[in-house]
Amino acid sequence: MDSHWRLYFHNWVSVLGLAILVLLALVATLGPALAPFDPQDIGIAYRALPPGMVNWMGTDELGRDVFSRSISGVRVSLLVGVVAAAASTLVGIVVGSLAGYFGGVFDHILMRITEVFQVIPQFFLAVVLVALFSASVFNIIVAIAILTWPVIARLTRSEFLSLKTRQYVDAARLSGASDARVIFREILPNAMGPVIVSGTLLVGRAMLTEAGLSFLGLGDPSRVSLGVMLYQSRPFIQFAWWAALFPGLLIFLAVLSTNLVGDGLNDVINPQMVEER
């Protein structure tokens, strides 16, 4: 396995993705300590200043510092992305494991439920959920997790379907292992590879969904997120383009870096695909 991890660092694109992600994560954790101004501080006298020595990314239509706001935006975006992806991965693993392992009618019921979630237009469902239950960061996370868990569930299920027929699973049963032990000790560790890759890709997807919701005015009004910044600066883009450009660029970087990391992890998990390239 150690040699496999070296594969990750062989690909400079994955390394670049990881570097960007680490940088963004640092910004998100250090957060307010890095910001030169209070992100919510309005100053009528400083409205729509272009990027300069004081306001590195300029100020928006209310005179708020775009750089300081972007820092808290990255924080909210990463929080939403990571927590939503983690929650959806967890739910997906539980549903997928049970369906794949026990099979039969149980599998059918779980998979039909999964399909119901998959056939509903996803973004529409998110809009409805957030609109119904008020736009808070927590509700946005829940809505995104509800949208994305079926992907992980189907993936986990298919891994289980193939792994449960392995002879080492039979051998564990003959050793007296209970169903729980077979699921957690024998099958799940071997199924985790592709699931983690998909989970990582979900982080980017969740950040995009959050940005999309915010852009439609369904963002958490009490938190500064990158999507909220885009939404608020849109009417003024002609004379204060910087207020929209920088948060947009950061969304792009954040999603790009998680996707690159996901691809890199995929190479680690499926090394033979790298060799075929």
Partner 1 sequence: MTEVLVEVEDLKVYFPVRDGWSTKDDRQVKAVDGISLALRHAEVLAVVGESGCGKTTLGRTVAGLASPTSGRVWFRGKDLATLSSGERKTYRRQVQMVFQDPYDSMNPRKTAFQMIAQPLTINRIVPKTDLVNEVLRLFDNVGLAPGEAYLNRSRHQLSGGERQRLSIARSMSVNPSVIVADEPVSALDISIQGQILSLMRKLQEESSIAYLFISHDLAVVRSLADRVMIVYLGQIVEEGTTDGVFSNPRHPYTMALLAAHPIPDPELSRNRHRIVLTGDVPSPIDPPTGCRFHTRCPIARPVCSQQIPPFKDFRNGHRSACHFADQLQSMARLLNESGPASH
- Distance from CA of residue 115 to its chain's centroid? 21
Measured between alpha carbons, how far is 160 from 99 in angstroms, rounded to an integer? 9
Q: Which residues on neighbouring strands pair with residue 59, listed in sequence order?
A: 65
- In the complex, what is the shortest distance from the CB of residue 180 to partner 1, in angstroms, rounded to a whole number? 12
Residue from 161, 173, 245, 253 in contact with partner 1 (CB under 8 A): 173
Task: Report if residue 29 touches partner 1, rule: CB under 8 A.
Answer: no
- Residue 76: name the closest of 244, 254, 234 by CA: 254
- In the complex, what is the shortest distance from the CB of residue 179 to partner 1, in angstroms, rounded to a whole number? 13
Residues 6+ apart with CB under 8 A from 179: 101
Task: Report if residue 10 touches partner 1, rule: CB under 8 A.
Answer: no
Which lies closer to partner 1 via its Cβ, residue 65 or residue 186?
186
> How many CB atoms lie under 10 A from the CB of residue 33?
7
Residue from 29, 134, 162, 175 in contact with partner 1 (CB under 8 A): 175
Which lies closer to partner 1 via its Cβ, residue 154 or residue 205?
154
The amino acid present at 114, given as its one-letter code, is T
Q: And the tokens for 110?
A: 């779980």
Task: Report if residue 118 touches partner 1, rule: CB under 8 A.
Answer: no
Task: Report if residue 5 touches partner 1, rule: CB under 8 A.
Answer: no
Residues that bind partner 1 (CB under 8 A): 103-105, 108, 166-168, 170-177, 181, 186, 189-190
